[in-house]
Amino acid sequence: MWKSKPPSTRRADIQDLFDCYASSSASLSSSALLQFLREEQMEVSVTVEQVEELIDLYEINESANRSISFEGFLRFMESKHCSIFDQSHHQVYQDMNQPLTSYFISSSHNTYLTGDQLVGQSNLDAYVLVADDLRTRLYHGYTLTTKILFKDVISTIEQHAFEASAYPVILSLENHCSRRQQEVMAHYLVSILGDKLLSAPLNHPTTGELPSPDDLKYKILIKNKKLKHSRSEEVTETDIEDSVEEEEDEEEDEEDELDTTDEGEEGKKLKNKVKFWSPRRAQKGHKKKKQKVVAQALSDLVIYTRSVKFLSFSYSRDNQNVYENTSLSEKKASKLVKTAGADFVRHNQRFLSRIYPAGSRTNSSNYNPQKFWNVGAQLVALNFQSLDLAMHLNDGRFLDNGGCGYVLKPEVLMSGQSFDPGWAYHVVKPRSVMLKVISGSNLPVSGGKALDPFVQWRSTEPSVTTARRKHQPSKTTP
């Protein structure tokens, strides 16, 4: 009875590559590895010194004498050095002297939460991954989430803000505190953050645009409402109330979302789930909206990121200043993408826009950030608590440019360009992309049976649609 040949532990495709350049030798010399890198990997600028460093890193046989065995070559081929990601992009390589509006900026939503939006735990460690009574507390309003002290949050941000990147951190405050509490908040911001806090405009020539990430290195910016009056003017109680922008904060916008029609069964379930934690909805129409007040001390700390309410693109074009920015819920922003994509792009060429998840996402799920990047929105905030597809897209986006949290927008979204993502699919000539799957490794084995593997890939396109393909190989090899 014939016995089947045991499967080889060596990958045939890599073995063939190794044999091709080894020239019947049991190892690759440094010159042969250099030739392989230049001809096969297209690393034309690689040097002999770099090749020798790779041999020292991946060859464990000390007697190899400036050569690499097949085992060392295999370790090298499966390492990050052979990743499809351009290794030079692990460093900051983009122009960081453009205005802030020219960059996608990594942004988290309700950073203090570690779970869902209803009863999730609030934790300072969440700010390490991202940043009394007159003791001001942070929590998700009208929910059962736990509370943490504002002072502790600012202390944590001060310690860890620039560990991963030297570029500016923007703290977006949704502020429902009294004037006295806001004065205490301002005191904490100034006393704890010190020189890291941007408390005055930079001394640079006025260009009519926002400063660049390079200009703002090691600075923390406060995004909040701001009084229209300067400190030098005499401000009365009435003036303060009149000057405060009635910005559409997240909780108010969440109520409005409950009165809209959610798409699909999931949307209906989420809508029903939200009803019990929004008592403000029951009071809607019976109680006059409370006038928001901003303390002068906190207002003075808002320099380039003043929060204002979005009314329309035409209103922003004629009235909004470059240092003013708006926050939009994903549903409102989605409608604008569909109905006025080109206007949205032009708006984001001049102003910062922040997009945040719908209030119905009580389980901390996320929307697809790509459709908002397509219109050039800079601060596309996601629930970092969920490791879903949206977060994979976000991680991929901000892996680029050294992982510094700032990625330069493509030229088509920059100032002077006209682009409508809704029409891009129809007017741009399509390109063909060929993906060749050579082999797989480290696949699990179940009960000694051969696997039936397949490859699935997904592409997110400018037309805000997602293409998905599944390839089933004609032959499965154990």
Question: Could you list the active site residues?
Answer: 109, 140
* The residue count for the chain: 478
CA distances from 47 to 34, 35, 67, 83, 272 (A): 8, 10, 15, 19, 63
Tokens read off for 374: 């397509």
Candidates 441, 472, 439, 440; CA nearest to 456 is 472
Q: Which residue has the tokens 């906190």?
A: 298
Candidates 372, 135, 107, 145; CA nearest to 251 is 145
Residues 6+ apart with CB under 8 A from 236: none
65 phi, psi to nearest 5 deg: 55, 70
- On whether the CB atoms of residues 124 and 363 are closer than 8 A, the answer is no
Tokens read off for 10: 């060596």
- On whether the CB atoms of residues 55 and 33 are closer than 8 A, the answer is yes
Candidates 396, 388, 333, 394; CA nearest to 366 is 388
Instruction: Say which DSSP state 382 is in.
Output: E
d(CA 429, CA 418): 17
Beta strands in 195-338 (DSSP E): 220-223, 306-307, 324-329
d(CA 140, CA 357): 13
- On whether the CB atoms of residues 358 and 367 are closer than 8 A, the answer is yes
CA distances from 429 to 265, 347, 394, 458 (A): 36, 26, 27, 20
- On whether the CB atoms of residues 309 and 248 are closer than 8 A, the answer is yes
Tokens read off for 394: 């976000």
Angular region, 359: left φ>0, alpha ψ -120 to 50, beta rest: alpha
